[in-house]
Structure 1
Amino acid sequence: MDTSTEFAMVDVPPGRVTLSDRRTQRSWAVDLAPYRLAAFPVTQAQYAQVTGERPSTAQGELLPVEGVSWLDAVRFCNALSLREGLAPAYRLHDDAAGVEWDRSTDGYRLPAEAEWEHACRAGTTEARYGRLDDIAWHRGNARDRPHEVGGRQPNAWGLYDTLGNVWEW
């Protein structure tokens, strides 16, 4: 499986996910339309190919990119969109207004929280889609370092590394 420069995309079916806020003890359901998500986390090789930058602390072409901010990820999505002839999904403002998602574009974007939860579970109602050691790199098996993407079992929809490996925002 070549994950170094290609962006294999997975069609995620529509569905409903329940989100919760542990702080307020509140839960709510979110209905989702179908969307697409990359099968693998962005690798360092992919990030460098699109941005020309290598911000990660651990080095390896097939390691997930880390050490980037949310804004760096937004800029990556826009750069990838432009590279592939798509309209960027985000408008970046010079003033304090920040970033605006333009839902009418066809460009790459980051998944919303509900979309990420839905994709991680792949149709299950459990917190995990399999035995943790089989599906994720975590504190107990990772030997304190990130691992190449796709090294554990994918979920039922073909998404890899939705749990573990590197810390998400």
Structure 2
Amino acid sequence: MKKISILFMLLISFIFVGCGSSSDSNHDYKLSSLEIIGGTLDKEFNPDRKKYTVYVDIQAETLSLNGSPLNPEYNVHGLFNNKNVYEFFGENGEGFNSVVEHTVYVDNNENEKKGMYLFEFRLKYEDYKIEVIKVKSGTTSEENGNLTVENDYYIGKYEVTQQLWYNVMKNNKNGVSAEPSQNVYDLSENYPVDSVTWYETLVFLNRLSILEGYNPVYEINGEFNPDKWGDIPKSRNIEWDEVVVNGNRNGYRLLTDIEWEYAARGGKDGLPTKSAGSDDIDEVAWYNGNSGNTTHPVGEKLPNELGIYDMCGNIWEITFDWYISVYRSDRGGGYNYSGSYCIFPGKGNKEPYATESCLGMRLAR
């Protein structure tokens, strides 16, 4: 078991509402002070605010609050157990992005309930923001591949990192490792995740979509919730191979083969360079001639014209498309491959259930 230290943030919004007797007045529900233990307010306390957001370390045992309403007869206090709420989300699939209410009582000096306040919880990845870049539709020049993409899309600015993979995949119900990487393992240094399979990326992307409040794209056996897909296949699986892609949904997904190359070449206005953003692969890529035979943190080399990093080298990036009937397409080359794979078109392939230490991913939406 690898020892890890992760800061995983839970975004908690709570709104104060009166639920007491008709004798309760509005000023009972305004606070003159608010103390948070185990979390941090997003903005400085203001007595006129009725909604607050608190950032909480998921490793913390509890979050507690102590508030003083303007009416001194009442005290506000509450206790929230992170673990229980996280488990609730984890066990309910689609519930990752739903609002869960918890009560915080307003007690008088004799501890008689005079009303209640409500917490509203929503899980977010505020600590690991997912940066994406919009790629506009169009056609690259003849000298730059003559590729056409009909619709705009978003692409990850960086390769998916180990820390993001871990946060999404821990506690998954498909038997997928949350710590698959065979190279340098360090959740704090933005190393790309490696050693993942095409099948595993489908689980990751639908879980991430649910966590972030988007509509998941991939559907297997009529289910969008990957918790209901069963164990990850260890060999060819026709049901997983025939996954339905719902293009009208806004969740995360893999790039198509053409989308990958179109973005790597800089889109419709990209220059006809040999590699993604440069004719000199050492400027933009980690490969066997400069990597030291290991992956490197994302974003250390120069980006291409669109501001996308590591489109060539570091890790091979899984795309959605079939390469031939039994292999899925991978693009861009890897840290332990010849620099020739960092030069367009830079194509590779792998069975959807198989992986190697240089195989990772980049997300799209």
Q: Which band: TM-score by shorter chain?
A: 0.7 to 0.9
What letter is aligned with 2:287? H
* CA distance in structure 2 between the aligned counterparts of 1:70 and 1:35, rounded to whole angstroms: 21
Task: Indicate which of 16, 40, 64 corresponds to 2:192.
Answer: 64
Where is the strand percentage greater, Structure 1 or Structure 2?
2
Structure 1 residues not aligned, in runs of 5+:
19-26
* CA distance in structure 1 between the aligned counterparts of 2:165 and 2:310, rounded to whole angstroms: 17
Do the aligned partners of residues 28 and 156 (structure 1) sit closer, same or farther apart at CA in structure 2, a change above 3 Å counting?
A: closer
- For 1:1-169, what aligned pairs fall within 5 Å after superposition? 5-16=128-139, 29-52=147-170, 53-58=178-183, 59-61=185-187, 62-93=190-221, 96-98=238-240, 99-122=243-266, 123-128=270-275, 129-130=277-278, 131-168=280-317, 169=330
Contact 1:6 1:46 in 2 (8 A): no
Aligned sequence identity (%): 31
Structure 2 residues not aligned, in runs of 5+:
1-126, 171-177, 222-228, 230-236, 318-329, 331-365
Do the aligned partners of residues 56 and 71 (structure 1) sit closer, same or farther apart at CA in structure 2, a change above 3 Å counting?
A: same
TM-score, scaled relative to structure 2: 0.41
Contact 1:17 1:117 in 2 (8 A): no
Contact 2:131 2:157 in 1 (8 A): yes
Larger CA deviation: 123-132 vs 91-100: 91-100
* CA distance in structure 1 between the aligned counterparts of 2:273 and 2:305, rounded to whole angstroms: 13
Shift of 1:17: 5.1
Contact 1:15 1:31 in 2 (8 A): yes
TM-score, scaled relative to structure 1: 0.86
Q: SS at the partner of 1:97?
A: helix
Query: Cα RMSD between the aligned structures?
Result: 2.0
Contact 1:66 1:166 in 2 (8 A): yes
Do the aligned partners of residues 132 and 28 (structure 1) sit closer, same or farther apart at CA in structure 2, a change above 3 Å counting?
A: closer
Pair member with larger Rg: 2
Contact 2:149 2:259 in 1 (8 A): no
- Higher RCO by CA contacts (8 Å cutoff, separation 6 or greater): 1
For residues 61-95 of structure 1, what are the alpha-carbon distances to aligned partners after superposition, in whole Å with 9 as ceiling and x for unaligned? 21100111011111111001000111101012367
For residues 9-42 of structure 1, what are the alpha-carbon distances to aligned partners after superposition, in whole Å with 9 as ceiling and x for unaligned? 1001112259xxxxxxxx9854332100010000
